[in-house]
């Protein structure tokens, strides 16, 4: 029997690795993608409505910076707290709770009338948004074979980019007729409708269940869903051949040789998300200043996320094969794409092409980094590892909009503003290159799957884990 161990035990990871990607994994991918679709919509909505909101309330550009950053600060706290919590109580509960939270808060946003209340509600919305993302990534990673894991996580994460892109297109359609508040009505009602579907249809992570050692019947049911032809004896035990890491999950991110990769991942996430949110929050406003209408600015700015969707589909198999080496190259290309945005503001077609290219590299690169982070950490701390990388990245996402506001207030030209954004992409590229030199991830020509297998083998204790 595939993945069987002495004494009637089956290694869940080995079993999944020997199966093709089937209908069960595709349904799970679509469910998690739906969560991130709404996550992306609600995260980016504030940027798309910013010009209309500022006009209605008489706000200056600098006043919008704290509004942007309040939600991102909530995202950071949500990722830092709810990732480790999910490693203890399960991915499913946190995904449902997070979706419920950001749905309610997004709906409330439609009814606020002052900046202070908006700041508080955006922070609370961010808590839910921040908890959903690392757990959707961990869930998708843990149900898919190693050889396709990065590809599946990246395709799933397209839900975020599609949601963010459609947020711009929907904002362009709704704001002229119904005002900016209508965008948040849509962004609040949709997650609330999804919650009962998640409660009924979303499974718990099979690797998380196996690691607890207390849910063999449920693990058997999920493995049969993955491989309908599988037959298990009634007394079969299911294990995960990884170390069970007790205590505080975050501390394990710096043990057993994980420290250098963890720190470099944090640099990649910090710089990448700084750049992403710098661009996504300020592009509509800068384009509006250059002469585009509010609707046109939102539509052109959405090309950042459209490029990200295309980049994700194109880069998935490349990242599975070449790991951090490919990621470094993507961020190096981003340097030139981001810098070009400020040089091409005189042409809508050319600036849209530059924004698309920037999205291809920055958004696509960030999604690839999510997948690689999920593959690096063992099950016991996977949500913590991804959550903390995203949490540290959110510090960058908070700083990005604030820096943009300061530069624009200082009357920097569009060319100078986007050259500053290009510098952040360069830092991400250098950190990804350093990662490619560690642990044989690419220097030996290993794929991401082989690198993870070798690394986890080095950490594996002699006794069966999870027993």
**Cross-strand partners of 237:** 9
Query: Has residue 465 been placed in a domain?
Result: no
Asked if 221 and 209 touch (Cβ cutoff 8 Å), the reply is no
Whole domain around residue 381: which residue ranges? 17-228+244-455
Query: Has residue 360 been placed in a domain?
Result: yes
CA atoms of 422 and 433, how far apart (whole Å)? 17
**φ, ψ (nearest 5 deg) of residue 297:** -60, -45
Q: Write the pLDDT tens digit of every residue in 118-170.
A: 999 999 998 998 889 889 988 998 898 888 888 898 889 888 878 877 887 88
Query: Has residue 236 been placed in a domain?
Result: no
pLDDT, greater one: 239 or 219: 219
Total structural domains in the chain?
1
* Alpha helix ranges (H) inside 290-381: 294-301, 303-322, 324-341, 348-376
The CATH number of the domain holding residue 95 is 1.20.1250.20
In order of 111, 280, 407, 420, the CA distances from 346 in angstroms are 37, 20, 20, 19
In order of 71, 83, 189, the CA distances from 162 in angstroms are 20, 23, 18
Query: Has residue 143 been placed in a domain?
Result: yes
Q: Write the pLDDT tens digit of every residue in 379-428.
A: 778 888 888 898 898 888 778 877 887 887 887 877 788 898 899 999 99
- Confidence class for position 177, pLDDT limits 50, 70, 90: confident
- Confidence class for position 461, pLDDT limits 50, 70, 90: very low
- Confidence class for position 5, pLDDT limits 50, 70, 90: very low
Query: Has residue 9 been placed in a domain?
Result: no
Q: Write the pLDDT tens digit of every residue in 288-344.
A: 776 667 677 777 777 887 888 888 888 887 887 777 888 899 999 999 999 888 777
Structure tokens at 67: 């509004």
Query: Has residue 461 been placed in a domain?
Result: no
**b/e 163-176 (16+ beta carbons within 10 angstroms → b):** bbbbbbbbbbebbe
In this structure, how many other beta carbons lie within 10 angstroms of the beta carbon of residue 55?
12
pLDDT mean across residues, the chain: 82
Summarize the confidence of residues 31-44 as an average pLDDT. 90
Query: Has residue 4 been placed in a domain?
Result: no
CA 102 to chain centre: 16
Query: Has residue 345 been placed in a domain?
Result: yes
Q: Which value, in Å, is the radius of gyration of the alpha carbons in the chain?
A: 22
- Confidence class for position 62, pLDDT limits 50, 70, 90: low
């Amino acid at each position: 029997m595939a993945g069987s161990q002495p004494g009637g035990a089956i290694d869940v990871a080995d079993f999944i690795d020997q199966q093709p990607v089937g209908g069960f994994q595709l349904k799970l991918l679509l469910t998690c993608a739906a969560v991130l679709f709404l996550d992306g919509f609600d995260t980016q909505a504030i940027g798309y409505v910013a010009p209309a909101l500022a006009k209605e309330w008489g706000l200056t550009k600098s006043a919008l910076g704290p509004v942007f950053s309040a939600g991102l600060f909530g995202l950071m706290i949500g990722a830092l707290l709810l990732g480790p919590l999910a490693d203890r109580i399960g991915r499913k509960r946190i995904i449902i709770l997070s979706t419920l939270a950001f749905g309610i808060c997004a709906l409330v946003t439609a009814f606020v009338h002052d900046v202070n209340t908006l700041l508080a509600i955006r922070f609370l919305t961010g808590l839910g948004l921040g908890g959903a993302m690392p757990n959707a990534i961990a869930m998708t990673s843990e149900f898919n074979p190693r050889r396709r894991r990065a590809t599946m996580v990246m395709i799933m994460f397209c839900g975020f980019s599609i949601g963010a892109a459609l947020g711009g297109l929907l904002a362009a359609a709704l704001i002229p007729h119904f005002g900016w508040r209508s965008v948040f009505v849509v962004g609040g009602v949709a997650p609330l409708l999804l919650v009962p579907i998640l409660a009924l249809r979303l499974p718990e992570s099979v690797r998380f269940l196996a690691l607890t050692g207390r849910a063999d019947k449920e693990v058997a049911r999920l493995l049969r869903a993955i491989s309908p032809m599988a037959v298990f004896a009634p007394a079969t035990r299911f294990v995960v051949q990884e170390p069970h890491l007790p205590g505080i999950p975050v501390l394990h991110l710096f043990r057993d040789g994980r420290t250098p990769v963890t720190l470099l991942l944090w640099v990649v996430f910090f710089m990448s998300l700084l750049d992403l949110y710098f661009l996504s929050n300020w592009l509509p406003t800068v384009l509006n200043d250059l002469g585009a209408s509010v609707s046109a600015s939102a539509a052109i700015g959405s090309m950042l996320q459209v490029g990200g969707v295309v980049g994700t589909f194109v880069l998935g198999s490349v990242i599975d094969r070449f790991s951090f080496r490919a990621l470094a190259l993507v961020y190096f290309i981003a340097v030139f794409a981001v810098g070009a945005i400020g040089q091409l503001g005189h042409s809508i077609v050319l600036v849209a092409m530059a924004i698309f290219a920037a999205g291809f590299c920055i958004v696509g690169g960030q999604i690839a980094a999510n997948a690689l982070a999920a593959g690096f950490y063992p099950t016991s701390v996977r949500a913590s590892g991804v959550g903390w990388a995203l949490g540290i990245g959110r510090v960058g996402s908070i700083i990005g909009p604030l820096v943009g506001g300061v530069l624009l207030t200082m009357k920097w030209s569009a060319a100078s503003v986007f050259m500053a954004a290009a510098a952040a992409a360069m830092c991400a590229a250098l950190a990804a290159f350093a990662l490619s030199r560690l642990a044989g991830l690419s220097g030996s020509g290993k794929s991401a799957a082989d690198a993870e297998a070798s690394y986890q083998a080095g950490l594996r204790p002699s006794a069966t884990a999870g027993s």
